[in-house]
Chain A
């Protein structure tokens, strides 16, 4: 079974803090994604990466950055957390030639 593991299930951070969300996949997938999910807004793509050290902006990249130093690990960084970044964050990985996408369990981030 493909496994996508996010480092935390729940996080509470203060406004202005730098926040790191880590994601690791064990299936050697090329493509990895970070989404946020908010009620009524569905899944919105923040950033994605199709290879090590490569990154592409998604639909809502403002206030976020990413890092992919190793194929299995994709990190999302909130440079200066704000209350409007309180959300569920989902990491996903997808095999390069297919459509099968696998998600982590999600990180519920609260910024106070």
Chain B
């Protein structure tokens, strides 16, 4: 079993929809959870990170962690075609990041 599981998609939604991207993790000791966005032919860039449980909001993006179910989510409101990218979840352990496979998101105009 991988330490971080993420459905690779692709996930295709119409412009303006609310998008929900999800990951599960196996180790309850993980404390930091990150979301990276990667545009085609570019390196990933950090979008948001959260510590422990709860929500964090940044504009149209909300990151949520549910430690009881070991579930992390990224919500995108009012999705735009420019949000089309691959979204990778990650957690942090021993100075390394542990990655999900990434979900390819397509926002249709």
What is A's interface to B at a CB cutoff of 8 Å?
A: 4, 31, 33, 40-43, 45, 48, 50, 90, 92, 94, 96, 99-106, 108
Which residue of A42, A48, A103 contacts B96 across the interface (Cβ within 8 Å)? Answer: A48
Of the residues A43, A90, A94, contact of B95 by C-beta under 8 Å: A94
19 A-B pairs besides A43-B44, A45-B96 with CB distance below 8 A are A31-B95, A33-B96, A40-B101, A41-B101, A42-B99, A42-B101, A43-B88, A43-B99, A90-B44, A94-B95, A99-B34, A99-B92, A99-B97, A101-B46, A102-B46, A103-B43, A103-B44, A104-B43, A106-B43
Residues 52-92 of chain B: 1 if any A CB is under 8 Å from the residue's CB, otherwise 0? 00000000000000000000000000000000000010001
Q: Would you give the shortest CB distance from A34 to chain B, in whole angstroms?
A: 12
Question: Nearest residue in B to A45 (C-beta to C-beta)?
Answer: B96
A102 to B34, CA, bound (A): 12
**Which residues on the B side are within 8 Å of A103 (C-beta)?**
43-45
* Residue among B34, B45, B96, B102 with most chain A CB within 10 A: B96
- Let me know if A99 and B32 touch, CB within 8 A: yes
**A-binding residues in B (CB < 8 A):** 6, 8, 32, 34, 41-46, 49, 88, 92, 95-97, 99-102
Bound complex: CA A108 to CA B99 (Å)? 20
- Identity of the chain A residue whose Cβ is nearest the Cβ of B92 in the assembled complex: A99
- Which A residues touch B34, using CB under 8 A? 99, 101
Closest CB of chain A to B24's CB: distance in Å?
15
For the complex, give the distance between the alpha carbons of A108 and B43 in Å: 11
Bound-state Cα–Cα, A50 to B42, Å: 24
Docked Cα-Cα span, A101 to B90, in Å, equals 11
Chain B residues within an 8 Å CB radius of A42:
6, 88, 99-102
